Amino acid sequence: MNDTEMLLEAIKTESQKIDEAMRRDIESLKPHVDPLLVEVLEYGLFNGGKRVRPLLTVLSARMCGYEGDDAYELAKAFEYLHAATLFHDDVIDNAQTRRGRPAVNRQFGLVSAILAGDFLHARSMEIVGRMVGEKGLSIFCDATSGMVDGEFMQLRNAVQLNLSEHDYYNAIMGKTGLLIAASCEVGAIFGGGNDTQQNALREYGVGLGCAFQMVDDLLDFTGDEQKTGKPVGNDLAEGKMTLPVIITLNRASEEEKTWLHTVLEDQDHRCNELQAVKSLIESCDGFVETRSQAIKSVTQAIEQLHVFSSQDALKDKALLTSLAGYVLSREK
């Protein structure tokens, strides 16, 4: 069994335990909440996904010496918050599908999708506050606030056709990096990690989160719809300033820039010129440079793990290292 197969097997095992924790929680809610809410939660939560964020919480707790099963009870909060953002994103984007089947807003309506997302957000905060205390909840809430701010930054970058890679990184830190970093840092706090360990795992999460978003940017142009569960060119159609586009605009000739600006400013052009935009990005090495920057982020993430040298941490350290590599090769 190679490293990737071992990682996927470990992810499968841990994901089952995280799912079990979520199912127990939802079962406990049934006497207290509306049956439709339960139906929406079960439909939206158990629809595939690798459970990366809660997995990071569990592994981070174990890296810091925690050996119990309560880490799975904490970890589910990060899957709840992630799911809440997906419910709301699909409403905002008027999405038709999520992971190959009707999105929650299509299956149950806009109101149910919004309310279920709100419920998951509140539930996740309650879990973190109860299990980790004020410091953990503060980190969790900062990540949530950052996610909202990141979305606003992305909107502004799109309207202004912002070519700044610095602003792009600030946006993806909010959208993706902060929650993944919080998953690691809160797990470390719960596991009893010292300040050095908490900071190392947080920075690991930052690097992993940035790489995760950059690979998402690549998959928007080069992914397989059957694997990603969403149309190729979806981000382009929505006018998002992803890293391959920013790199291309900074490298293209004046004539090419003018043409690409024309495409980006018009929704019909964005929908109809996918292949031409993709060809221009390839000619400017936009995909190559994006992958190079993703590799750099992963390398920086892995470097943070050097502070963990005990024999007990080696297995989970290897999993975190493999997970960082897997982010680069993922197809969905």
Per residue in 155-169, pLDDT (tens digit) is: 887 777 766 788 888
- Give the C-alpha separation, 166 to 171, whole Å: 9
Amino acid residing at 307: V
> What DSSP letter does each residue of 82-129 carry, written as one string?
HHHHHHHHHHHTT-SEETTEE-HHHHH-HHHHHHHHHHHHHHHHHHHH
pTM, rounded to two decimals: 0.91
Selection from 298, 281, 299, 280 nearest residue 289 by Cα = 281
Domain total of the chain: 1
- Give the C-alpha separation, 137 to 163, whole Å: 35
Mean pLDDT over 225-243 rounds to 83
Lowest mean pLDDT among 137-146, 204-213, 236-245: 236-245
Residue 291: domain span? 3-329
Q: Which residues pair with 98 in a beta bridge?
A: 101
- Give the C-alpha separation, 122 to 118, whole Å: 6
Domain CATH code at residue 32: 1.10.600.10
pLDDT at 19 over 70: yes
Per residue in 115-153, pLDDT (tens digit) is: 999 999 999 999 999 999 999 999 999 999 988 888 888
Share of the chain above pLDDT 70, in %: 98
226 CB-contact burial (10 Å; exposed 0-12 / middle 13-18 / buried 19+): exposed
Q: Supply 320's token pair.
A: 């975190």
pLDDT at 92 over 70: yes
Selection from 203, 195, 134 nearest residue 173 by Cα = 203
- Residue tagged 């750099």 (tokens): 296
Indicate the SS3 state at residue 81: helix
CA 49, 137, 52: angle at the middle one, nearest 5?
Answer: 15
